[in-house]
Amino acid sequence: MILTCQNISKTFLEDPILQNVSFHIEDSEKAALVGINGAGKTTLLRMIVGQLQPDTGSVTIGHGKTFGYLAQDGAVDTANTIYRELLQVKQELVDLEQRLRGCETAMQTADPDALSDLMRQYDNLTHAFETAGGYLYRSELIGVLKGLGFSEEEFDKPIHTLSGGQKTRVALGKLLLQKPDLIILDEPTNHLDMNSIRWLETYLLNYRGAVLLVSHDRYFLDRIVTKVIEIDRSAATVFTGNYSDYAVKKELLRAAARSAYVNQQRQIKHEEEVIEKLRSFNREKSIKRAESREKRLDKIQVLEKPSQARTDMKLTLTPNCQSGNDVLRVENLGKSFGSQLLFEHISFEIRRGEHVAIIGDNGTGKTTLLKILNRLIPPDTGEFRLGSNVEIGYYDQEHHVLHGEKTLFDEIADDYPSLTGTRIRNILAAFLFTGDDVFKKIDDLSGGERGRVSLAKLMLGNANFLILDEPTNHLDMVSREILEDALNQYEGTVLYVSHDRYFINRTAGRILDLANHRLTGYLGNYDYYLEKQTESGPSAPSSKERVPSGQSAPAASESKLDWKSQKEEQAKIRKKENDLKKCEAEIASLETKLKELEQQMCDPAVATQPDQLEPLAREQAAVQKKLDALYETWEGMAL
């Protein structure tokens, strides 16, 4: 057992955030904390790491166990470069390496008496260096930085020049290199592109320690966790399995609780009617019987009304008019900013009813492409044409459609005067604005809150072509699922940019991958895109291929693809095992050679003869360089 939380409770300003929360994390277990925004997830993490004290209850970390915590705004030393900041984690190895080099230098000029002591010291230092992973730490550090999306050209960047998201990535890299027994992460994927998220998934899946994380990335949770701890109405419930398993079990529990509540309320109402009827008889026996029933009714433990089911909250998107079959045609589009080329020679078409997702690394030009299609900025080359009767509804992350002086309620009511007050409140509640929140001014909202208001307005519009830029950012899981259902029922056309793979999987019928300045099209959802990416057969389909919205890979070929994928996977596993064995054998051979050279160099008859020592030192350096490269190769294959 690495972590135990027992009866944790916390109240802020008489508002109970957590009440009697209990759970535990085993060694090597991967677990997630989930719940709506404001449920208390980050508060609980801060109590686990000692930044907050619970009002009651206890947090126990296993004896001798270590933990590392990455908050949403991970702290780093802004005076360092990126590489130096991560190198600090390995400072003990850096010091050991310097002592080894110092020893080697001293051995070259030492007299025979001092040489013997230096040789013993060198042997001890070498053993300590090897045991602590001294020959791997630099390649490990570089691997983590590259995995988190930093290029080698950025390693020497001063941290004070980085964005907030980049600083958080540096903090995450430091934490991963520390390798604590328990890694605690709060929204670790917020500032990562898809490649970096996939790298982090693989890293955490193979991590020997335990992981506890908070994340709204449901695809990420599905891949990693085997336990879900839900915080709902201040209480905690533990579910085994990944996020999808939790979602199914949660809906079953919610349905059962709702049924039990309705049945009890029906029973209470019946009893009250019987009591009232008995009293109306106004006879001594009937009054006594009524009093007896009242006492029995008072002893009933009234069930709390279950939280509102997600299926009870719906948004409906209805196009004002139907567009023509050809919605968008893009030909030879290109865009650069100064010397930075984003994309060129981009051509694709979108037909009515398609749901198309644009994916790609940060900085490839996805948002720029959407702005061009909305005529906010001009392309450098090429052109695009909209089809007949196409009416665009655009969601951007700068929220130009909002009026700062208005309240949330007025922002909706003024644009949609036919809506009732109740309907407006229900719409805002679906996007996490409840109670007096609806009377806040737009100017007083955070960036994430403004995004949710913009999305609510877009959902109410009558556009038949929705263009969305990261629509799920700042939404909790419930709101994301509501939006997914709304888009899946939408009869119009959708083009969007998103990093939310679960969202893409549920809503996209076609993927456009923006990479290397070009756009490549893939039929199907995100899982099918990944399958095509890993295939070693024919190249991926072009962006001009089309598929109806919601349709993934052709059903007729699914069994063939499954069989083919299994055979390919087995072949890959066998090849990987053979390559690993060959690499390990070569490493063992070089390590033996290195020890032989070290023994020769430590021989007093050689160590005092520079003409003999120098060629041995050159050979040692060459063997060490080759060994370092093999260690890095092995690490990449073993990951």
What is the tens place of the pLDDT at every residue in 308-364?
544 445 566 677 788 999 999 999 999 999 899 999 999 999 999 999 999 998 889
Torsion of CA 211, 217, 223, 224, to 10 degrees: 0
Contact 269, 277 (CB under 8 A): no
- Distances in whole angstroms, Cα of residue 352 to Cα of each of 321, 322, 346, 491: 12, 9, 20, 9
Phi, psi of 539 (to 5 degrees): -65, 160
Contact 464, 390 (CB under 8 A): yes
Contact 3, 210 (CB under 8 A): yes
Q: Report the CATH number of the 77-178 domain.
A: 3.40.50.300
Residue 447: the pLDDT is 67
The DSSP secondary structure of 347-390, one letter per residue, reads: EEEEETT-EEEEE--TTSSHHHHHHHHTTSS--SEEEEEE-TT-
Q: What is the 3-state secondary structure (H, E, C) of 68-94?
A: EEECCCCCCCCCCEHHHHHHHHHHHHH
Does residue 2 have a pLDDT over 50?
A: yes
Residue 624: the pLDDT is 79
**Greater pLDDT, 67 or 363:** 67
**Chosen CATH of 1-66+180-241 out of 3.40.50.300, 3.40.50.450, 3.30.420.10, 3.40.50.720:** 3.40.50.300
Does residue 203 have a pLDDT over 90?
A: yes
Identify the sign of the CA torsion 426, 428, 433, 439: negative
Residue 549: the pLDDT is 35
Contact 449, 474 (CB under 8 A): yes
Indicate the range of 21-25, 64-68, 379-383, 469-473 predicted with least confidence.
469-473
Contact 408, 483 (CB under 8 A): no
| 562-638, CATH topology level | Helix Hairpins (1.10.287)
Nearest alpha-carbon partner for 263 in 292, 306, 233, 231: 306
What is the rounded average pLDDT of the residues 79-108? Answer: 92
Indicate the range of 57-66, 90-99, 382-391, 569-578 predicted with least confidence.
569-578
Residue 552: the pLDDT is 39
Does residue 285 have a pLDDT over 90?
A: no
Rg (CA), the chain: 31
Indicate the range of 61-65, 322-326, 532-536 predicted with least confidence.
532-536
Does residue 459 have a pLDDT over 80?
A: no
Residue whose token pair is 């003024």:
414
The DSSP secondary structure of 76-145, one letter per residue, reads: --TTSBHHHHHHGGGHHHHHHHHHHHHHHHHHHH--HHHHHHHHHHHHHHHHHHHHTTTTTHHHHHHHHH
CATH class given for the domain over 326-558: alpha beta
**Greater pLDDT, 527 or 624:** 527
Indicate the range of 9-23, 388-402, 523-537, 556-570 predicted with least confidence.
556-570
Residue whose token pair is 């998934």:
201
Identify the sign of the CA torsion 79, 361, 36, 202: negative
What are the boundaries of each domain within the chain? 1-66+180-241, 77-178, 248-307, 326-558, 562-638
Residue 616: the pLDDT is 80
Residue 560: the pLDDT is 43
Helix axes 421-430, 447-460, angle to 10 degrees: 130
Does residue 416 have a pLDDT over 90?
A: no
Tokens of 256: 């059962």
Residue whose token pair is 């994301």:
480
Task: Please tell me the pTM assigned to this model.
Answer: 0.69
Residue 553: the pLDDT is 41
If you average pLDDT over every residue of the chain, what do you get? 85
What is the rounded average pLDDT of the residues 471-498? Answer: 86
Residue 273: the pLDDT is 87
